[in-house]
Structure 1
Amino acid sequence: MVPPRPRVELYAAIRRDSRIGLSSREIERKYHVGWRTVRAALDSVWPAPRKAYPKRGSKLDPFKPAIDAMLRTDLDAPRKQRHTIKRIYDRLIDEHAMTDVSYRRVRDYVAERKAQIRVEAGRAPTQVFIAQTHKPGAEAEVDFGEVAIRLRGKLVTVYLFAFRMSFSGKAVHRAFISGGFEAFFEGHVHAFEVLGGIPYGKVRYDNLKAAVSRVLGFARYRQEADRWLGFRETWGIEPFYCQPGIEGAHEKGGVEGDVGWFRRNHMVPVPDVGSLDELNHMIDGWDLADDNRRIGLRPYTIGEHFAVEKPLLKPLPAERCETGRWFHPRVDRFSQVTVQANRYSVPVRLIGRQSRALLHANRIEIYDSTRLVARHERFMGKGGSQLDLDHYLEGLLRKPGALPGATALEQARAAGKFTPVHDAWWAAACKAHGDRDGTKALIEVLLLHRHLAHEQVVAGIAAALHSGALTADAVAVEARRIADDTSAPTPADSNPAANPIVSLTERRLAQLPPDTRPPPSVTHYDQLLRLRPTAQEGTPNQ
């Protein structure tokens, strides 16, 4: 049996046979069709569309009004307490006695009807997205994102600042402990210095508290923070504030997507770093490597696009403004200052004095008048403390019994500054000299860290411990010898097995030049000896 031809092809064949003179009867017999089909093919090249069959009724039809009512109530219900398809299906069975209707039929109806109800209620479509063209060097976008890292073995969350050029997609990132004013300003300064200029057009922001103190209820007017006004005037930034809430996220969609892309591609697996400076050094390398990446189907890389817009950027200002915040705390009796509900140590000689503290995003600097006396990493959270054992050494010389339980000592151990070599030497010194004198000797050893490198002092302690020299002077001699001996590697000196010298005397003798003189002789002195008779020989008769 010959398969039936498509209707368009059949109509074309009928019209072709009619033109060569075949009658309608012959065409009907040839193609096994009726006269209506032949007449329709001769009247039009295109077959008339088939009439749709009337839709058959469904067993779900009596329950559709109930489903629609449930979907309408969901429009104003909390997001996490809206009907699921399973819940709709169960309610139809329990409350409306529905039987012999499959779950799949209910699911298909809800999927189709839910979108229609949102449109009927004016809740959809949500937004229309219009493609934009950005001029080189004209626009940029700024945003913050949260990323998790392992900081000295502890899982913490830090803030990732992102500044992205809209034309090229060139992005500069920076990680900060805080997401406040200091991080906002320092992120801008770092981005402008890396880019080598400032966009001459607008920079898009959401309503960050660091920039906007109040969102006014009309148009895009904002009441800006005073510090932000001064900062943007200094750097010549023209801000553009997006709509509040999630509706404004699409207005700076480039940087929104960049933060997620950077987190997925560079922060997986979770970085394990010893400090924020180490992490930011890694981020700078990643940003530089991203210049070779192509965004989407663009024909050129990010770096090639940025080379076009870099000459168009505004130059950096000659005058800069301070990005940190100044505080004026008084040093308490614990030799600490309190800034932003956290405590930081200073040298004990400053107890009772007024100090000046400059708080940055990742660190804090404390001044006595104009002289820098302490620098700490900013504490993450509230109610914590950052203490430096070196600040308390003069006080501990007078109160050595306070050292074993000192908080500064525990923090030094956790940071790796007070090593097991220190502990071993301390224990040996206390055993040899007593707890008080042994602890005072250790404090004198710790004072060496102010003048010598940490590795050199540790190596000197290890050498002195191996030779049994349990005094601060001996450690100082060893540490300075290691510091002066640039040819000998420090790890070999700190390894007792690699050091053949077992005492300081032998070590000093080993530094002397070789003695080439002959060994001394006592032959000449033997001539001065007087012969004495032995007891066995006796005495001669007179």
Structure 2
Amino acid sequence: MLVVETVVRIRREHAGGKPIKEIARDLRLSRKVIRKAIRAPEGAFDYHRSVQPLPRIGPFQERLDTLLAENEARSRRDRLRMTRIHDLLLREGFEGSYDAVRRYATRWAEARRKDPGVGVAAFIPLLFRQGEAYQFDWSHEDVEIAGKPMRVKVAHVRLCASRAVYVRAYPRETQEMVFDAHARGFGFFGGVPLRGIYDNMKTAVTTVFVGKERVFNRRFLVMADHYMVEPTACSPAAGWEKGQVEHQVQTIRGRFFKPRLRFASLEELNGWLEAECLRWAAMQAHPEHKEMTVAQALELERPALQPMLASFDGFHETQHAVTGTCLISFDRNRYSVAAKAVRRAVQVRAYADRIVVRMGDEVIADHPRFFGRDRTIYDPWHYLPVLVNKPGALRNGAPFQGWDLPPALARLRRKLGSDDDADRRFVRVLAAVLSDGLDAVEGAVREALDAGAVSDEVVLNILSRRREPPRPASIVTPEDLALMHPPVANCARYDSLRGLHAAA
């Protein structure tokens, strides 16, 4: 391709009457090139190949088109690099270079943009009033918890007017996590907007119809009614309808989660994320009102938010059967329940950080939630009614291994010893917890130990004395002490008491 200076020289010399043959000889160019430069409008001389030969890609063109189309359909996070696509072709026998694949992919993308059937998406900017709406979405981020790599699910909540953000990491994207994220997000913002904008996530939307008509999950609607929020679902594949939180996902990923975060626990990570949300709001300028920060805009929006009277009781309830060993299976782990529920159906309420087991209206277990698998979580007190009848299980029973007893009870067990008789005597003391309560038993044990008595009989005696109702205290006045019948000095009265024979 000729440079502009050469084209201008050719056109100027030809205009001066110099023959094409001489110009070609002087510049060492073909007469065909000289004629094309002369005929080019306004000195433009661009060479475009009408047909691009593809000696290497030719046999693999259809396969490469398929890979490029599949890659474009993926989310931005999951798209393959061009080096990876080149490697996939090499595995299938392709012998061409990476540059050939890259150039073809560039031309393929340009052709897609020029295709009127594809086109470039156009959007309409959105404007929200203060307190009108918030947007909610999930993202997946890689962190390191307690020295192990972990992919966490991060809930993103964003106020549309002030642009305030709140993020929190969870092990799952289940419904109870959604409820917890809303409660914590509204608490962070200091109020509740009128409307929530979501995608069609399964924890919120049950059925998607044409247009904006949706069937929302019943439990999700109960939460929305509790906070007086109108839920709105986006159209499928229309992320621009909640573009603020979509953009937030990319921003937070780059600013908060890179380089990879390392924390001892998920609670520690979430504490750091909340502090970073506050720091980001204090430093970031509002995109529309440059004179104020996001934190200042949030302060202005708070009066327009609905007051948050109480957090929603955000649990997901399922029914389970209790085994003969007082255990239920939930989320690939086992949890103990009170012995009274053996072989009965119970309701498990799963929260983001704990599970509560109920039998009717009675709570029979409350455990911190474990997100691993194949682990058994015991509460030894659940097995106390069974232990009373089987005291020999105290030594080898799985629930009692490493039992963290109250200090007074732990001292009593050490002083009693570790033989079978000592176990039976200690179980007798534990059995009193069922009738007197743990605090009363611990107080009686402490009193016995302070007196130097290491005996189950002494502890039970103290409890028995404490159970007896106290005698009512009498109030004695001087009038009560006065005699109603004053004594009379009469010795004959003694004779009457001795009888007739005594008088004779």
TM-score normalised by L of structure 2: 0.62
Conserved 8 A contact 1:148-1:270: no
Conserved 8 A contact 1:146-1:159: yes
- Superposed counterparts of 1:470-481, under 5 Å: none
The change in CA–CA distance for 1:469 and 1:311 in structure 2 (over 3 A counts) is same
The change in CA–CA distance for 1:399 and 1:85 in structure 2 (over 3 A counts) is closer
Conserved 8 A contact 1:141-1:203: yes
Name the SS of the counterpart of 2:352 in structure 1.
coil
Asked if 1:437 corresponds to 2:422, the answer is yes
**Deviation string for 1:294-332 (max 9, x for gaps)?**
05864422211112222222344x687643244555544
Tell me the CA shift for residue 213 of structure 1: 1.0
Decide which of 246, 262, 265 is 1:256's aligned counterpart: 246
**How far apart, CA to CA, are the structure 2 residues paired with 1:138 and 1:131?**
16
Percent of matched pairs sharing the same residue: 22
**How far apart, CA to CA, are the structure 1 residues paired with 2:286 and 2:277?**
18
**How far apart, CA to CA, are the structure 2 residues paired with 1:281 and 1:92?**
52
**How far apart, CA to CA, are the structure 1 residues paired with 2:457 and 2:280?**
54
The change in CA–CA distance for 1:108 and 1:226 in structure 2 (over 3 A counts) is closer
**How far apart, CA to CA, are the structure 1 residues paired with 2:87 and 2:322?**
64
Tell me the CA shift for residue 335 of structure 1: 2.0
The change in CA–CA distance for 1:397 and 1:136 in structure 2 (over 3 A counts) is same
Decide which of 169, 192, 206 is 1:213's aligned counterpart: 206
Residue in 2 that maps onto 1:323: 314
Asked if 1:336 corresponds to 2:321, the answer is no
The residue identity in structure 1 corresponding to 2:245 is: V
Decide which of 164, 171, 184 is 2:158's aligned counterpart: 164
Residue in 2 that maps onto 1:364: 355
Asked if 1:300 corresponds to 2:292, the answer is yes
Asked if 1:235 corresponds to 2:227, the answer is yes
TM-score normalised by L of structure 1: 0.58
The residue identity in structure 2 corresponding to 1:293 is: M
The residue identity in structure 2 corresponding to 1:179 is: E
**Deviation string for 1:196-252 (max 9, x for gaps)?**
33223x422111111111222x223222222223332343322332233xx433432
Conserved 8 A contact 2:130-2:301: yes
**Deviation string for 1:37-79 (max 9, x for gaps)?**
9xxxxxxxxxx98523363879xx6724875785555333454
Asked if 1:378 corresponds to 2:378, the answer is no
RMSD over equivalenced CA pairs, Å: 5.2
Name the SS of the counterpart of 1:63 in structure 2.
coil
Asked if 1:270 corresponds to 2:231, the answer is no
The change in CA–CA distance for 1:400 and 1:127 in structure 2 (over 3 A counts) is farther
Conserved 8 A contact 1:85-1:110: no
**How far apart, CA to CA, are the structure 1 residues paired with 2:180 and 2:213?**
25
The residue identity in structure 2 corresponding to 1:139 is: A
Conserved 8 A contact 1:445-1:472: no
Conserved 8 A contact 1:72-1:117: no
Tell me the CA shift for residue 142 of structure 1: 0.3
- Superposed counterparts of 1:74-473, under 5 Å: 74-77=64-67, 78-79=70-71, 84=85, 106=100, 109-110=103-104, 112-119=106-113, 124-147=118-141, 156-200=150-194, 202-216=195-209, 218-244=210-236, 247-262=237-252, 265-266=255-256, 268-273=260-265, 276=267, 280-295=270-285, 298-316=290-308, 322-327=313-318, 329=320, 331-339=322-330, 342-352=333-343, 355-367=346-358, 369-380=360-371, 384-409=375-400, 417=404, 433-434=418-419, 437=422, 441=426, 450-451=438-439
Name the SS of the counterpart of 2:349 in structure 1.
strand
Q: Would you say how many aligned residue pairs link Structure 1 and Structure 2?
A: 405
**How far apart, CA to CA, are the structure 2 residues paired with 1:90 and 1:393?**
64
Conserved 8 A contact 2:145-2:262: no
Name the SS of the counterpart of 1:291 in structure 2.
helix
**How far apart, CA to CA, are the structure 2 residues paired with 1:224 and 1:380?**
27
**How far apart, CA to CA, are the structure 2 residues paired with 1:206 and 1:176?**
19
**Deviation string for 1:1-30 (max 9, x for gaps)?**
xxxxx99xxxxxxxxxxxxxxxxxxxxxxx
The change in CA–CA distance for 1:350 and 1:223 in structure 2 (over 3 A counts) is closer
Residue in 1 that maps onto 2:486: none
The change in CA–CA distance for 1:326 and 1:106 in structure 2 (over 3 A counts) is closer
Conserved 8 A contact 1:89-1:106: no
The change in CA–CA distance for 1:384 and 1:55 in structure 2 (over 3 A counts) is same
Gaps of 5+ in 1: 1-5, 8-32, 38-47, 476-542
Name the SS of the counterpart of 1:74 in structure 2.
helix
Gaps of 5+ in 2: 6-11, 17-39, 72-79, 460-504
**How far apart, CA to CA, are the structure 1 residues paired with 2:124 and 2:353?**
39
